[in-house]
Structure formats: structure tokens, C-alpha cells
Amino acid sequence: MCNWKRLLTLIVLFNYSSLSYALDVELFNKLANDTIKQMNMGVVGDIDELIAKQEQLMIVGLEGGIEYLQTGIKDPKPLMLVLENAEKMKSLTLDEIEDLWHGGNFLKSKGIDPDKIDHFGPMMSLMDSVIHPATAYLLIKEYKQTGDTDLLVRVKAELFEVLEHVKHINDENPDSQLSLNE
């Protein structure tokens, strides 16, 4: 198990002097595509390893989000809330994560209108680089308990969507360190 608060502290301390932001897109893509490949096969090998990959995706998203916060963005609160609640997302039900994070009700409860955040802008894309892997994590855990293969289709959908967000970060910031290296 990962101590998320300690990880966030270490990442912030390590990157304190950095003024650029970077999402390790190569690693993010590899982990997401490895998961999608297993979903396409319809046979999940080591399910615990697959769950761990979703946690790794979340960590990569956390790192990118923390680095982005260091650029001095105008309103960091929505991204901060995602980063601060990443670990808690893993203990939600599928309905709760859908309502709170995909539906924006957590942000709304904090006085933030999620509809005012550019859906494919860097902030939302980095938020989704945590939220979608957290949802995939929950879906795979549910699959482990139920064997319901429809959950695997949903895992793919979550990861395809977040990979699209990563592409939009590159479109908006072609000179950034967020290169897809394709």
C-alpha cells in the first residue's frame, strides 16, 4: 500500500524549485495501454498487478499535477482538491466516484463550478489523470470480486478517455515537456 500523503510531501519537496510541469506521458501511456491490452484480451492475468498499475497511473497523474501547481496557475483549488483526495477515491464505490468526481459534485460542494474548467485544458486533463485511473482501479477491484466482464469494458473506456486528455495537453502546449514521444 502506498502512503499517499507522504508521497505528495516528497514530490513537493523534490520538485520545489521546478517551474515547469511535466506528466511522464511515456510511462502513463505505457501503463494505460498495457491495461487496455489486457482488457482487449478479455483475460486478466495477475489481477493484483493490474490493480497496482492503476495506482501507478494515479501516482504519475499526481506528480504531473503537483508540478503544474508550481507554475503559479490562477486558481489551483480544483486540482489541489483532486490531489488531496486521490487516496480517498480508492475507497469509494463506483456510484460515489461517478457522482462526486465525474459528475463534479465534490467540486460543487466546495463552491467550484466544474463546467467553468476547460474540459481539455491542462488543469482538467491533469485532474482526469488521477480520477480516471482511480475509477479503473475501482472497476478492476469490482471485477476481481464479481468476475463481471462488463467492468473490463468500462476500464478501457476510462483509460481511453484519459489518454485523449493527455493528447490535448500536448496540443495546447506543443513545446512543453508533455510530449507523447510518438
| Average pLDDT over every residue of 62-86 | 91
pLDDT at 157: 95
- pLDDT, averaged across the chain: 83
- Residues 143 and 84: their CA atoms lie apart, in Å, by 27
Q: Which carries the bigger pLDDT value, residue 19 or residue 172?
A: 172
Q: Calculate Rg over the CA atoms of the chain.
A: 16
* Other residues' Cβ atoms within 10 Å of the Cβ of residue 127: 25
Residue 126: partners with Cβ closer than 8 Å, 6 or more residues away: 23, 61, 64, 65, 68, 79, 169
- Res. 176 pLDDT band, cuts 50 70 90: very low
Percentage of the chain with pLDDT > 70? Answer: 80
Nearest to 127 by CA among 71, 55, 77: 77
pLDDT at 54: 96
Q: At what angle are helices 77-89 and 122-146 packed, to 10 degrees?
A: 10
Burial of residue 161, with CB atoms counted within 10 A of its CB: 0-12 exposed, 13-18 middle, 19 or more buried = middle
